[in-house]
């Protein structure tokens, strides 16, 4: 017995699925909008959700992260009238159970639903609540809760872990947290900085050497791989590992055996491997700068840490945590944080992520001196200036919103502009002048950046309207790559998909 929610704007599809659910002796509900669907899922109690992609009030794929972050989130089955490889990729990355096309055969739909429920039952039976030790890992956002679940799963395993994310997101901290919660917690956590490995001493550093193996080897040295015996070997910035070492290290991973420089015999080391990088290892494999077989070995479990700009709700707990650390470090009474400080910090985009936030807080702490409260004036000027400019830009955009170019008035991206191109005195065409004439005059009182944003949005809205759900047509008309097109659609909250006649959207 399962409880199923259908989120689809096609009444016929909703009724068909509800009838199928009743035939399978299950209970179910159906709603016609994304807002209603997410609201119902927040109440809990659903085992599976059928989710349409193109809904009247949004794209179902955009809601996946919120749905999967819910307490006891349901398994999600995408059901869409227009299949798209990139959409399927996004769905799978978002954690969906399956991606079905309408009209989907009843037998296939039933089989997918049965398997999703069986998987969910097995997952519930196998998983018991885990109390993680995460003294320095701070966060309450849905994205971080998903990361904590991944950490708990990795801690109960002995498999290799690859942690990816931008610089400053805390990759090593997460690796240490996994180690501290694993069965190897009492053994060493050994860090290898792959970016600092030198060609001449790399093998000696990792595998050790015997006395006299080379000039300067005055005594035996135990390598980092052996030091990690029984514990965890953490390869930091693994994407920087020299190519010649990748092959040698692959054998170590396979056999857990290695030969110190100058030794006649091999040694063993029972270590667990974790690795971290801010680079795209898959892209490096395509460029032949990283071995594919090594990548497969190090990413049995993969965890991607979100950038701080995507989880603004974590700025406050992180700030409180760091300020407490600083007060303890400097031996001063705990300082308070003025609300204006948090307003500034939450308005900053944090290109350096948590590392940059902690650095900014320490600079503010020092600037505050003996004062018992941190105020916005204590924050670095570059941060305050950037936030002030961003706020003024948003305010200006809101003030001139009624005067902005609309999708209806923008030139069509699919068809050529009605007005002829302007020419120079020599008779050469100047298409830029024609574009400028298509933009309302009021827009030119704004900074160039804001003007570009307004025109870009109008262009994308018109492109979606004219393409009528035809992705290849939109790509041809715009000259964009598929990835760039989807990035711009996501930026402006648009969807290129449209309803499929007779099969639902």
Task: Choose the weakest-confidence range: 33-37, 260-264, 331-335.
Answer: 260-264
End-to-end CA distance of the chain: 29
By the 8 A CB rule, do 354 and 325 touch?
no
Tell me what the pLDDT averaged over the chain comes to.
83
Task: Choose the weakest-confidence range: 183-197, 337-351, 411-425.
Answer: 411-425
Whole-number Cα distances in Å, 101 to 51, 52, 434? 11, 10, 43
How do 98-101 and 3-7 pair as beta strands? unpaired
pLDDT digits (tens, 9 = 90+) for 173-208: 999 999 999 999 999 999 999 888 877 678 888 889
How do 232-236 and 98-101 pair as beta strands? unpaired
Token pair for 250: 């692959």
By the 8 A CB rule, do 256 and 270 touch?
yes
Residues paired with 232 in a beta bridge: 189, 272
Token pair for 92: 């799978």
How do 301-304 and 161-164 pair as beta strands? parallel
Tell me if 3-126 shares its fold with 142-305.
yes
How do 54-55 and 58-59 pair as beta strands? antiparallel
> pLDDT tier at 498 (50, 70, 90 boundaries)?
very low
Which residues does 61 contact at the CB level (< 8 Å), separation at least 6?
53, 78, 87, 90, 91, 94
pLDDT value at position 413?
45
Task: Choose the weakest-confidence range: 204-208, 248-252, 413-417.
Answer: 413-417
Of 31 and 394, the structure prediction assigns the larger pLDDT to 31
142-305 folds as Rossmann fold (3.40.50)
Question: CA neighbours within 13 Å on the CB side: how many for 242?
Answer: 13
| Complete DSSP assignment for 262-320 | T-SS-EE---EEEEEESS-HHHHHHTTSS-HHHHHHH-SEEEEPPPGGG-GGGHHHHHH
Of 345 and 220, the structure prediction assigns the larger pLDDT to 345
> pLDDT tier at 415 (50, 70, 90 boundaries)?
very low
Question: Which one is the CATH code of 309-399: 1.10.3720.10, 3.30.70.20, 2.160.10.10, 1.10.8.60?
Answer: 1.10.8.60
What are the domain boundaries of the chain? 3-126, 142-305, 309-399, 402-467
Helix (H/G/I), strand (E/B), else coil: 121 = helix
Residue 177 CA to residue 329 CA, distance in Å, equals 22
How far out from the chain centre does Cα 43 lie? Answer: 26
Residue 220 CA to residue 236 CA, distance in Å, equals 25
Residue 366 CA to residue 209 CA, distance in Å, equals 46
Give the closest residue to 445 by CA, choosing from 392, 396, 386: 396
Placement of tokens 């400097």 in the chain: 330
By the 8 A CB rule, do 363 and 380 touch?
yes
Residue 27 CA to residue 20 CA, distance in Å, equals 10
3-126 folds as Rossmann fold (3.40.50)
């Amino acid at each position: 017995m399962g409880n199923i929610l259908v989120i689809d704007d096609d009444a016929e599809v909703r009724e068909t699925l509800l009838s199928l659910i009743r035939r399978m002796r299950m209970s179910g509900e159906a709603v016609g909008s994304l807002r209603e669907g997410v609201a119902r899922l927040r109440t809990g109690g659903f085992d599976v959700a059928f989710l349409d992609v193109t809904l009247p009030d949004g794209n179902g794929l955009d809601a996946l992260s919120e749905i999967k972050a819910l307490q006891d989130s349901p398994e999600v089955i995408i059901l869409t009238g227009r299949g798209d490889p990139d959409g399927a990729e996004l769905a799978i990355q978002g954690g969906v159970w399956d991606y079905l096309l309408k009209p989907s055969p009843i037998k296939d739909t039933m089989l997918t639903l049965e398997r999703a429920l069986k998987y969910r039952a097995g997952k519930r039976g196998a998983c018991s609540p885990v109390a993680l030790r995460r003294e320095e890992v701070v966060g309450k956002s849905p994205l971080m809760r998903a990361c904590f679940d991944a950490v708990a799963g990795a801690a109960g395993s002995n498999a290799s872990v690859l942690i990816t994310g931008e610089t400053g997101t805390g990759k090593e901290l997460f690796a240490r947290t996994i180690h501290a919660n694993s069965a190897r917690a009492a053994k060493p956590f050994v860090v290898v900085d792959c970016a600092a490995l030198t060609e001449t001493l790399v093998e000696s550093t990792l595998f050790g050497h015997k006395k006299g193996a080379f000039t300067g080897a005055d005594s035996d040295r135990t390598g980092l791989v052996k030091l990690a015996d029984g514990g965890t070997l953490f390869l930091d910035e693994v994407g920087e590992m020299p190519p010649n070492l990748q092959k040698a290290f692959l054998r170590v991973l396979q056999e857990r055996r290695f030969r110190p420089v100058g030794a006649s015999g091999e040694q063993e080391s029972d270590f667990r491997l974790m690795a971290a990088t801010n680079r795209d290892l898959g892209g490096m494999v395509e460029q032949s700068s990283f071995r594919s077989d090594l990548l497969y070995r190090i990413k049995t479990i993969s965890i991607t840490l979100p950038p701080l700009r995507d989880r603004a709700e974590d700025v406050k707990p992180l700030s409180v945590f760091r300020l407490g650390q600083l007060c303890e470090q400097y031996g001063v009474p705990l300082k308070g944080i003025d609300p204006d400080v948090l307003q500034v910090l939450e308005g900053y985009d944090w290109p350096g992520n948590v590392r940059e936030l902690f650095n900014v807080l320490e600079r503010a702490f020092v600037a505050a001196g003996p004062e018992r409260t941190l105020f916005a004036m204590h924050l670095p000027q570059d941060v305050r200036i950037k936030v002030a400019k961003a706020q003024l830009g948003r305010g200006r955009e809101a003030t001139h919103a009624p005067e902005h170019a609309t999708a209806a008035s923008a030139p069509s991206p699919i068809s050529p502009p009605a007005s002829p191109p302007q020419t120079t005195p020599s008779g050469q065409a100047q298409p830029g002048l024609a574009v400028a004439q298509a933009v309302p005059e009021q827009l030119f009182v704004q900074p160039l950046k804001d003007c570009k944003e307004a025109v870009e949005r109008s262009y994308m809205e018109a492109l979606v309207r004219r393409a009528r759900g035809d992705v290849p047509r939109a790509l041809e008309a715009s000259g964009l790559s598929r990835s760039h097109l989807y990035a711009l659609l996501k930026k402006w909250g648009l969807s290129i998909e449209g309803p499929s006649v007779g099969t639902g959207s």
